[in-house]
Structure 1
Amino acid sequence: MSSGTIDIDEFESADDGEFETQNDTERIVLFLDRNDDRAWKAATIAERLGLETDAVSAILSRLKERDLVRHKSPYWAITDDTDRLRAAYRLHRHHEGADEQYGEERLEELRTDEMEEVQ
């Protein structure tokens, strides 16, 4: 449910193809990271990104479990642990690259018991 518009600063700072490939979780994390001087209500994030509030709330809860966002009801903010956030960005890029190279099904075949789940 996109509004069909984005802020011109967001447009100018985006890489080519960035908006085509972002999933909702990526969009939320990038939004909070770019607006790290504020805490936001889930409904406001949803409105700004053209998403459903329930979907944003569920994503934020999963991100909180991974310590990538902070929550003081009813507000949400990006983590202040910049090392953890950088590590999550690196892991995400690595996973995307592996998925492109091997395909999602092949990655499941390659998974071993020694691989740690990212929390």
Structure 2
Amino acid sequence: MPIDIERFETDPEEALNARGRTNAAAVLSFLAASPDRAYTPKEIHEATGLPRGSVGVVLSRLEDRGLVRHRGEYWAVAADEAVEKTLSSMRAAQAATDRFGPEDPEEWGPGVEDDEET
């Protein structure tokens, strides 16, 4: 669904993310909802509404992390408990962002950067 250019230019990037979650979360959630099925990237694109070009990149990254697997043109969620842990972490991070807003390092106060180096 298109948005007007004013919103495009003024809304924070997080607010412009469709459905309020990352592409990785959308793909992983979709595949995890049907662990007994495998899908083509086109089917994942159609089901999630993500840009077609993004789906392949996301699937490759998720595969690198061991969260999805593929054979031929088909992709499925990995048969691993790491998937549920990852989804749980993504949900917790999204809930925190929804409640407290996006992370802003300028709000951390002075000296935070120095503490990280020691």
Assess if the C-alpha contact under 8 Å between 2:28 and 2:87 holds in 1. Answer: no
What's the CA shift string for 1:12-62, capped at 9, x where partnerless?
A: xxxxxxx83233222211111112111111011112222322111111111
Residue 89 of structure 2: aligned partner: 91
Gaps spanning 5+ residues in structure 1: where? 3-18, 114-119
Residues 44 and 58 of structure 1, relative CA distance in 2, 3 Å threshold: same
- Give the alignment's TM-score, normalised by structure 2: 0.63
- Give the alignment's TM-score, normalised by structure 1: 0.62
Alignment root-mean-square deviation, CA: 3.1
Alpha-carbon distance between aligned partners in 1 of 2:29 and 2:96, rounded to the nearest angstrom:
22
- One-letter amino acid of the structure 2 residue matched with residue 93 of structure 1: R
What's the CA shift string for 1:78-114, capped at 9, x where partnerless?
A: 0100x2012112322343355454742339x67987x
Q: Which residues in structure 2 correspond to 1:1-119 (within 5 Å)?
A: 20-81=19-80, 83-99=81-97, 100-101=99-100, 103-106=102-105
Larger of the two Rg values belongs to structure: 2
Gaps spanning 5+ residues in structure 2: where? 3-17
